[in-house]
Amino acid sequence: MKSLIWKAAVQTILGFAFFVAIIYFSAGTWDYWQGWAYLAVFFACGVGFTVYLFLYDVPLLERRMNAGPWKEEGWAQKIIVSLIIISFFIFMVLPALDHRLGLSPVPAWVSILGDLVIVFSFLFIFWVIKVNSFAAANIAVVSDQKVISTGPYAYVRHPMYAGALWLFVGMPLALGSWWTIALIVPVVAVLMWRLLDEEKFLARDLPGYAEYEKKVKYRLVPFVW
């Protein structure tokens, strides 16, 4: 248990330092309040998320920390996860560069709205993990896993990805860039690739998933797809 706490603490501290470095190196100035606001919101949500899992669902915390392309079995998923990670950092670097060059600044209230969207994304993902203790960061099926069809899973088959999309919407707004939002299109394409590949895996290895697919028709957005 102590090793898990230590691992989570080290990851948080190193992650914060790395985020500060890439954002403010890209911005070229410390006078960038949008960056500090984003970091405060993102890490407050992340730490709160981690503390909750440590108190109430340690197995899920271990599964969520067991992340990265090297944890995926198939080469397609290794590529997909790598692209998602790269996209995440691009969504921090480009807005900071945008701020530095003054290409597409947004009003202060839009940046605040972006921070609220990030909070919404975390709250939505929190809803997901509240009803699904098997929501690992990598694609896998454990021995006692069962199909979850309640909560957000009653509306879409991949609510975790739906929540993550809101994070990619909120980040460029919070960091003060209009142009970066256009990159949400390739991010959606990558997430669609991941979930379609994941569905093949789950239909094959998770009993009852094929029946669940027939019950819940929409993958990502209700009444759309």
Look up the CATH number of the domain holding residue 172.
Answer: 1.20.120.1630
Structure token digits, residue 116: 């609220």
Q: So what's the pLDDT on residue 32?
A: 95
Q: So what's the pLDDT on residue 139?
A: 73
Structure token digits, residue 187: 């991010």
Any domain includes 84? yes
User: What average pLDDT does the chain have?
Assistant: 89
Amino acid identity of residue 161, one-letter, is Y
Amino acid identity of residue 66, one-letter, is N
Domain that holds residue 45: 2-215
Q: So what's the pLDDT on residue 2?
A: 64
Q: What is the mean pLDDT of residues 152-180?
A: 93
Q: Which residue has the higher pLDDT, 1 or 63?
A: 63
Any domain includes 222? no
Any domain includes 220? no
φ, ψ for residue 177, nearest 5 deg:
-140, 125
Q: How many domains does the chain have?
A: 1
Q: What is the mean pLDDT of residues 20-29?
A: 95
Residue 169 has pLDDT above 80, yes or no: yes
Any domain includes 221? no
Any domain includes 83? yes
Closest CA relative to residue 64, chosen from 55, 56, 53: 53
DSSP string, 160-225: HHHHHHHHHHHHHHHTT-SGGGGGHHHHHHHHHHHHHHHHHHHHHHSTTHHHHHHH---SSSTTT-
Express each pLDDT in 101-151 by its tens digit.
Answer: 999 989 999 999 999 999 999 999 999 988 888 877 677 777 778 888 899
Any domain includes 223? no
Any domain includes 143? yes
Any domain includes 17? yes
Structure token digits, residue 221: 């957005």
